[in-house]
Homo-oligomer: A and B are copies of this chain.
């Protein structure tokens, strides 16, 4: 991504040093799945010196602006996905790793939702192992 500062401003986010570093990493064109922890590790390697609190704040700020998707895969941590298009996932518990499924999948036979409720979105998680 070329002009991260402009990109952040477009999304009503002040382009602070920390946000620029994080956005540059997250939105480099390669879709990623990160947790606060994995992002923190990556930033440590880059010697970015960004506090954990800011990492959490930034992930949530980006999420609020629709730049990230939140994935509830397991109860140990929250995953954020830079691919905000509707899509599904493979998940390997063993490797604690998510893989995007970017092809169209159809779910047939969904029953009627309960009264006064409507379907918001359908999430398919394909569990892998070995």
Contacts and interface: CB of A to CB of B under 8 A. Distances in A.
Interface of A: 72-78, 90, 92, 99, 101, 103-111, 113-114, 116-130
B128 A114 contact: yes
A101 B110 CA distance: 8
A69 to B, nearest CB: 13
B123 A122 contact: no
Given A123-B124, A124-B125, 16 more contacts: A72-B75, A74-B75, A75-B76, A90-B113, A92-B117, A101-B110, A105-B109, A106-B107, A106-B109, A114-B128, A117-B128, A117-B129, A120-B127, A121-B127, A122-B126, A122-B127
A2 B110 CA distance: 34
